[in-house]
Structure 1
Amino acid sequence: MRTTLRQADRYDQRVDRLGCVTERLVRAQRALADHDIDALLVTPGADLRYLTGYHALPLERLTCLVVPASGEPSLVVPELERPAAEAAGVDVAIRGWQETEDPFALVASIVGEVDRIAVDDHMWASRVFALREAIAAEQVLGGPLVAALRMRKEPSEVEALREAGAAIDRVHRRMGEWLRAGRTEREVGADIARAIIDEGHETVDFVIVASGPNGASPHHEVSDRVIEPGDPVVVDIGGTTAAGYCSDSTRTYVVGGEPDPEFVQLYDVLEAAQQAQREHAGPGVTAESVDRVGRQIIADAGYGDAFVHRTGHGIGQETHEEPYIVEGNTLMLAAGMAFSIEPGIYLPGRFGARIEDIAICTEDGLDVVNRTPRKLVRLP
């Protein structure tokens, strides 16, 4: 579906609200110079939104931001997409191309003779190869360079993440309206998806309703399984707000009866592990140490092999981005970094549980944006 004027107006408002993208481009150019890279090429996706405020559609026609290490950036767009780019308030020169023109040759003419160019990590392979033919230069990944910029959120971005967190909290607080024994996961998931929009998101990114044994699959979505009395149910949900920032929160519920006693024991361990991770995380500690703190508690209780994923992921204009909270990541957490803290315990064929909050590192601590109860919630 084409971008409508109404959508473009929202994008324009987002740019006004989230600060001047010009400064982001300046910082990107400094990073290019620091890494001896002559230009950065970015096609539609989160990196383009971050650097320009333009939520371009990923069409077969080439849209490409050209950021030289020095000089003025340009946005190459199909001529028929120029109105949408202009309506989005893009603060760079727009270079349109006609249907019979070669857009890769246009990008090459803007870049000029260079030695090294960076391409965004999510660029289609066909684009990468076409640019390789058009520009005689070494290609390197641009993702790490842009990720380093995006990882430290600006104050306006922090506020957008807080609002997204509050919106998904409102959905969790309404769970008793839909989640009950006798309904299928799919039925409950449909109600949750509608509520995600109603409570302040523009899009639904994912809905996981994993009941009983399905809770042991961390990325189960929904199925036609009927929820039974006493079932634990993992509900992991998220969306994107009009500001372009994501929510992601998981709570585990028990519906319509008493759960297996071992599940209660397991959940107590999980709650203690997640609390310890929240208390440990903050500026000056490593990402891997946050993972290690909770993982040790879970292992000491005998469930080490049942914690099968990393503790968390960064979040912003994408649900999953840097920094990743996992063993081996020695990155020191710093103010402005936003990430999930979501340990889980999963017993195949039986049940599982996960608790997830989005947290933002501050100068002197941690701001946890999700405020719904973390204790096991029992619903009628």
Structure 2
Amino acid sequence: MTDLIPLPDISEAALHQMYTYRLGRIRAAMAEQKASVAVLFSPVSMRYAANFDEYQLFQSHIPTTMMIVPIEGPVTVFGASQRHHPNIDIYQPSRMATPFDGGLDFTGSCQTIVEDIEQTLRQNNLSGAGFHIALERTSPILSRLLLEKGYSLIDGEALVESARMIKSPTEIQCLRHTVNVAQYGMDKMREYLRPGLTELQVWSILHQVNIAHGGDWIDGRMLASGPRTNPWLQEATHRKIELGDTVAFDSDMVGPNGYLADISRTWICGGGTGSRSQREAYRHSYDEIHHNMSLLKPGVGFAELTERAFKRAEKYRDRRYVCAFHGVGLCDEYPKIYYPEDARHNNCPGELQENMVLSVESYSGAEGEPDGVKLEEMVLITATGFERLSTYPFEKELLI
């Protein structure tokens, strides 16, 4: 059992202000998009709206719980076990609209959900023309029944994502704490790292530290060693790490209060200056994230970030990471900003704003070479530029 780092100095009053702020952000987005109600199934969306944190991974694949958020009026949750959640006014039984809960034909359950939505509209006088229902990913049966009733649907997931972009001061405090927990876990991983341990043994330490501090989960098993670091996105296995191996990882850690720490570092097992290819790849990723961080300030357009992004060396271009920047909050968030080579995928209009949080990404691995390097920083957009939220040191011996 690991020791615990101190809790952040956040009062219950400040947390409740944060929950009020987040629900207000959803309702402001609803007003902008003319949505009368939002029907939420995503565990991340329900966490954002009302700090609803019950069985989140279960909910992600068996959506037993549903939340209805009217633009005005009481918020209702269907299927909660507890009764302590902020911003929730009414608790109702689950509607069982999944095969696991309700059998292979849950048309009747979806019809009941339609009636729930209509009751919310009537009770809050929200059934006027020209307004939409914001619906998150769910059964097409529910969408069809609503359309047959004449309702206009918009995407509830996109609506909530747009709300989550700008962080309140308490959200930023929560993000700092999750980063501190992750970096403490990284310290423990590094202390434990030695030849003969498997990738999974080393990776498990971050999980243990996260859970011990009240964290939630880790999105992937993103730790690889030696030849498994190139190409990237190979998850941890029972491979035994050898002396001199590159060891690269990406935390992807959904930590305390549901906030994400998305940090990547690369080490050499046993330390030292590594090989020439290890040093070249490390320097390339180090230069990339520092160049790309230097671009960050309010008012810079997302497309401009793509255009001005670090010009990657030819040998590292084909195995580039999936994006150069992306948003961070309760998990990976909008926007995702691609490299110039992938600019056709850039469908994120907008610009940087104060109190957005981003991850700045780099992966450098050349085809035909044994090693790859993954580095990533989390940053806060400030009034005049940016602040690094992740402060874990880089490998000076690999930068010579």
Same topology, TM > 0.5: yes
**Normalization by structure 2: what TM-score?**
0.78
Q: Map Cα deviations across residues 86-124 of structure 1 (whole Å, 9 max, x no partner).
A: 212334344557889834322222234465533344435
* Shift in Å, 1:37: 3.0
Q: Distance in 2 between matches of 1:60 and 1:265?
A: 46
* Shift in Å, 1:23: 4.6
Partner of residue 33, structure 1: 31
Q: Contact between 1:230 and 1:258, CA under 8 Å: does it hold in 2?
A: no
**1:344 and 2:379 correspond:** no
Aligned with 1:295 (options 306, 310, 330): 310
Q: Map Cα deviations across residues 41-97 of structure 1 (whole Å, 9 max, x no partner).
A: 21242112212222244396754333334x31431414xx3x51x212334344557
**1:111 and 2:93 correspond:** no
The range that moved more, 248-257 or 284-293, is: 284-293
Aligned with 2:384 (options 364, 372, 378): 364
* Structure 1 residues 63 and 104: CA distance shift in structure 2, 3 A: farther
**1:184 and 2:198 correspond:** yes
Q: Map Cα deviations across residues 270-305 of structure 1 (whole Å, 9 max, x no partner).
A: 111111111221212123444444431x23x64222
Q: Contact between 1:63 and 1:75, CA under 8 Å: does it hold in 2?
A: no
Q: Which amino acid aligns with 1:50?
A: Y
Q: Contact between 2:215 and 2:258, CA under 8 Å: does it hold in 1?
A: no
Q: Distance in 1 between matches of 2:276 and 2:269?
A: 14
Q: Look up the SS of the partner of 2:211 in the other structure.
A: helix
Partner of residue 160, structure 2: 146
The range that moved more, 357-366 or 340-349, is: 340-349
Q: Look up the SS of the partner of 2:222 in the other structure.
A: strand
* Structure 1 residues 194 and 334: CA distance shift in structure 2, 3 A: same
CA-atom RMSD in angstroms: 3.0
Partner of residue 84, structure 2: 87
Q: Distance in 2 between matches of 1:74 and 1:201?
A: 26
The range that moved more, 321-330 or 277-286, is: 321-330
Q: Contact between 1:184 and 1:223, CA under 8 Å: does it hold in 2?
A: yes
Q: Distance in 2 between matches of 1:14 and 1:229?
A: 47
* Shift in Å, 1:356: 0.7
* Structure 1 residues 124 and 178: CA distance shift in structure 2, 3 A: farther
* Shift in Å, 1:33: 3.2
Q: Which amino acid aligns with 2:35?
A: I
Q: Contact between 2:260 and 2:329, CA under 8 Å: does it hold in 1?
A: yes
Q: Distance in 2 between matches of 1:359 and 1:197?
A: 24
Q: Which amino acid aligns with 1:158?
A: I
Q: Contact between 1:208 and 1:219, CA under 8 Å: does it hold in 2?
A: yes
Structure 1 gaps of 5+ residues are 1-12
The range that moved more, 144-153 or 40-49, is: 40-49
Aligned with 1:325 (options 334, 337, 362): 337
Q: Distance in 2 between matches of 1:312 and 1:219?
A: 17
* Shift in Å, 1:211: 0.8
Partner of residue 275, structure 1: 290
Q: Look up the SS of the partner of 2:264 in the other structure.
A: strand
* Structure 1 residues 16 and 138: CA distance shift in structure 2, 3 A: same
Q: Distance in 2 between matches of 1:370 and 1:276?
A: 16
The range that moved more, 143-152 or 238-247, is: 238-247
Partner of residue 46, structure 1: 44
* Shift in Å, 1:148: 1.8
Q: Contact between 1:271 and 1:375, CA under 8 Å: does it hold in 2?
A: no
Q: Distance in 1 between matches of 2:49 and 2:283?
A: 43
**Normalization by structure 1: what TM-score?**
0.82
Partner of residue 77, structure 1: 78
* Structure 1 residues 136 and 163: CA distance shift in structure 2, 3 A: same
Q: Distance in 2 between matches of 1:138 and 1:111?
A: 13
Q: Distance in 2 between matches of 1:222 and 1:140?
A: 39
* Structure 1 residues 184 and 94: CA distance shift in structure 2, 3 A: closer
Aligned residue runs from structure 1 range 221-260, under 5 A: 221-256=235-270, 259-260=274-275
Structure 2 gaps of 5+ residues are 1-10, 97-107
Q: Contact between 1:295 and 1:304, CA under 8 Å: does it hold in 2?
A: no
Q: Look up the SS of the partner of 1:243 in the other structure.
A: helix
Q: Which amino acid aligns with 1:343?
A: S
- Across the two proteins, how many residue pairs are aligned to each other? 357
Partner of residue 215, structure 1: 229
Q: What percent identity do the matched residue pairs reach?
A: 22
The range that moved more, 204-213 or 91-100, is: 91-100
* Structure 1 residues 27 and 186: CA distance shift in structure 2, 3 A: closer
Q: Distance in 2 between matches of 1:97 and 1:174?
A: 42
